[in-house]
Structure 1
Amino acid sequence: MHVKPALSALHRVTASGARLARGWSGSPRATDALTALGCLGLTAIDLPGLAAADNSLTGASAAVVLALGCATLLVRRRMPWISYLAALLFIGWLHELTLIQFALYSVGRYRGRRAGVLATLGYLAFALFLFCCVPGWPEAKHESLSGFLGIVVPIGVLASAVGIAAYRHDLVAELNERRAEAAVLQAVQQERTSVARDVHDFVGRELTLLTVRSEVLSVRSRETSYAKDFEELADTARRAHLVLNEIIVQRGERASTPGVEGLAALAEESGRAGSPVRLAMDPEVNGLSPLRQAAVYRVVQECLTNAAKHAGGETVEVSIAADGPRLRIAVSNALPARTPGRAPVSAGSGTASMSERVRSLGGTLTATRTEDSYEVVATLPRG
């Protein structure tokens, strides 16, 4: 019987194929193609023996048959059972054990533990049947059962076990990725809720003032033709306030986001936490609408939080300036020399929430990281 390289060869070929594929195009199809070529290369080692001893195939026909069998690995992600059946055919006809290693790995990797165990048991049962019931398969009758099983069992069990382990690793990686996506979505949703609360507080206050003022004017002009118009204006403002309350039903106990008047306290708090702040703010910023001031506060707040996490001790430069019809917010800080195990500056859910706040007001936000600095720049329309 032709004894193929054990699972270490399989794993090396598969891993090296995966690395080459990532370097080439990062495409799963490229990985599968390189895996199929690796399997063909291993089976080609036995090409002379297949043509000479195991069957009536010539060298050319044996090469074609082996190539067709290895080509089934091109669909191993969607249909790994095709490779598995082809591998069983190779075992019974060509006495070839290389493809079954790749096939069992693929079944375990892309169909999970249950399928991998069933495929392994089927392979072992089929091999045992050939050993016991098929005459001359191939030199098995000249070997002991323990010697035969010492070849067949490790090939199947180890290949399937590695595939199942890779399947579990893929599940964990996908779970972590989805958790990260969920964290970003949750941050965006929380920021939208915060914006809605701010809209309710700021706009609701203005609608209340409009209602009261209209009612006062209605009373003062009771004897004139404008009284009815003021009463209708007061009713309209009151209805708008009611609609606003109905749209934003979950206000909770959270207060509205502070405006630019809260930046000094924010900078002082950051300094106490170990990240001193240099705050430069154009006086015209105080005339912005409450929603825009809240956006400025949120951007600076999140940037100072990031600086405390990733650049503790470094001075944070905060600049808020009116640039024509737009407002520019720039927050930057130096990055300390990265030490082993130190997490780099990230653009995770906090950046997503900042971007959502800025986009809700028609602005833009960019976060740029270099080797020694990190900067966030947001622009907002002043209107």
Structure 2
Amino acid sequence: MHVKPVAALHRAAATGRRLAESRSGSPRALDVLTALSCLALMALDLPGLAAADNSLTGPMAAVVLALGAATLLLRRRMPWLSLAVALLFIGWLHELTLIQFALYSVGRYRGRRSGILATLGYVAFALVLFTVPGWPLDRAENLSSFLSPVVPLGVLASAVGIAAYRQDLVRELDARRAESAVLQAVQQERTFVARDVHDFVGRELTLLTVRSEVLSLRARDTAHAKDFEELADTARRAHLVLNEIIVQRGERTATPGVDGLPALADESRRAGSPVRLSMDPEVHALSPLRQAAVYRVVQECLTNAAKHARGQTIEVSIATDGPHLRIAVRNALPDRTPGRAPVSTGSGTASMSERVRSLGGTLTATRTDDSYTVAATLPRG
């Protein structure tokens, strides 16, 4: 009964339900709880069912109601089964409890179109039953009963299910957006790393080419002249390959190194967040790529602090520890959250982690009640 264009929406809603159920409990446990709740409500009608002329004894009525409630265990995969049994209960036992759970299930797990179709079918079926001769009440009471509780209850149950279905879609959309933002940040950071490699390594290859050519000229009359010429050609080809592999789009300078950190700290201070920068002198001897990683981590941490802890002092420590380089950025958190949440995609940590991992390091972010700390460890190389 479902058309192909809405299949993707159903899959998205199913994923959204899984996200919600992962927080609230097991889907199977929720189905069992729903079935038991429905059975408990229908059990209140057992005395009336036993007294009514429906060819069911008290125990047999309890068994029938239990079987009907058991169909709710399949409401995710087969909500139409619960609806069919609920309509049977209306015509046979005059029982209106199961239909509410069934209409909700159709709207929740099959979407708006199916929910509306199921509601219209239920209303038409109930209208026929409440107006045909032989119903236990007279026609005037039938019509009054039909217009008061029966239709509103069914429509409300279906509307709540459809609303929950839409919430599942919104929840899945938010999750997909967050995932896309993280993936985009990681991909962007990989592009930045590639461009930095191009800039730094390309510069060294250019110097190697020029020096090899100079040496070949100086050794022109010796046996090593040809070797230097081949070395220059090799460096030149390596530079060409590097240009072909890493395609630069747009103008962009290489990421600054640790020499650019004082300017970052000064910029943060002007924005209202003072920075205490502590850096070992040995850091200046790191390779350009590692210095670029240090700069990116500190830059992202200062940006996050400006968003979430403006006005708090930021402590930045960059130290060498044997074969490792350790970066620690810590800032206190404000006592109260701002009235309006800052605009943030939540992908900054992912981009920092990608930059650090690309150099064989690790990065962790730790939040406590009063502080936020980012710690990264890199091999010095």
How far residue 341 of structure 1 moved from its aligned partner, in angstroms, is 4.4
8 Å contact from structure 1 (residues 131, 140) kept in 2: no
> 1:122 — aligned with what?
121
Residue 156 to residue 297, structure 1, CA distance change in 2 (3 Å) = same
**Amino acid paired to 1:102:** F
Q: Secondary structure at the match of 1:143?
A: helix
> 2:244 — aligned with what?
246
Equivalent pairs counted in the alignment come to: 363
Which of 135, 140, 152 matches 2:150?
152
Moved over 6 A (4+): 21-25, 344-347
How far residue 83 of structure 1 moved from its aligned partner, in angstroms, is 1.1
User: CA separation in 2, counterparts of 1:165 and 1:353?
Assistant: 36
**Amino acid paired to 1:225:** A
Residue 353 to residue 54, structure 1, CA distance change in 2 (3 Å) = farther
Residue 188 to residue 54, structure 1, CA distance change in 2 (3 Å) = farther
How far residue 186 of structure 1 moved from its aligned partner, in angstroms, is 1.0
What are structure 2's unaligned runs of at least 5 residues? 1-16
User: CA separation in 1, counterparts of 2:315 and 2:338?
Assistant: 27
Provide the TM-score with structure 1 as the length reference: 0.90
What are structure 1's unaligned runs of at least 5 residues? 1-17
> 1:37 — aligned with what?
36
> 1:3 — aligned with what?
none
State the percentage of identical aligned residues.
Answer: 82
Residue 23 to residue 37, structure 1, CA distance change in 2 (3 Å) = farther
8 Å contact from structure 1 (residues 285, 322) kept in 2: yes
Which of 167, 170, 173 matches 2:168?
170
Please list, as runs of the form range in 1=range in 2, the aligned pairs for 1:311-350 lying within 5 A after superposition: 311-339=309-337, 341=339, 343=341, 348-350=346-348
Residue 269 to residue 184, structure 1, CA distance change in 2 (3 Å) = same
Which of 189, 195, 198 matches 2:196?
198
8 Å contact from structure 1 (residues 95, 138) kept in 2: no
How far residue 218 of structure 1 moved from its aligned partner, in angstroms, is 1.9
Q: Secondary structure at the match of 2:45?
A: helix
> 2:367 — aligned with what?
369
Indicate the larger mover: 142-151 or 64-73. Answer: 142-151
- Residues 42-77 of structure 1 deviation map (CA, whole Å, 9 limit, x = unaligned): 111111211221412222221121111111112212
> 1:108 — aligned with what?
107
8 Å contact from structure 2 (residues 131, 143) kept in 1: no
> 1:281 — aligned with what?
279
Residue 140 to residue 265, structure 1, CA distance change in 2 (3 Å) = farther
How far residue 155 of structure 1 moved from its aligned partner, in angstroms, is 1.6
Indicate the larger mover: 110-119 or 287-296. Answer: 110-119
How far residue 172 of structure 1 moved from its aligned partner, in angstroms, is 1.4
Q: Secondary structure at the match of 2:44?
A: helix
User: CA separation in 2, counterparts of 1:160 and 1:375?
Assistant: 48
Residue 234 to residue 47, structure 1, CA distance change in 2 (3 Å) = same
8 Å contact from structure 1 (residues 300, 318) kept in 2: yes
> 1:267 — aligned with what?
265
8 Å contact from structure 2 (residues 131, 142) kept in 1: no
How far residue 332 of structure 1 moved from its aligned partner, in angstroms, is 0.3
Q: Secondary structure at the match of 1:37?
A: helix
- Residues 168-206 of structure 1 deviation map (CA, whole Å, 9 limit, x = unaligned): 122112111211111111111111111111011001111
Provide the TM-score with structure 2 as the length reference: 0.90
8 Å contact from structure 1 (residues 54, 95) kept in 2: no
User: CA separation in 2, counterparts of 1:340 and 1:87?
Assistant: 51
**Amino acid paired to 1:83:** S
Residue 252 to residue 346, structure 1, CA distance change in 2 (3 Å) = closer
How far residue 225 of structure 1 moved from its aligned partner, in angstroms, is 2.4
Indicate the larger mover: 197-206 or 226-235. Answer: 226-235
8 Å contact from structure 1 (residues 104, 116) kept in 2: yes
8 Å contact from structure 1 (residues 314, 336) kept in 2: yes
Q: Secondary structure at the match of 1:217?
A: helix
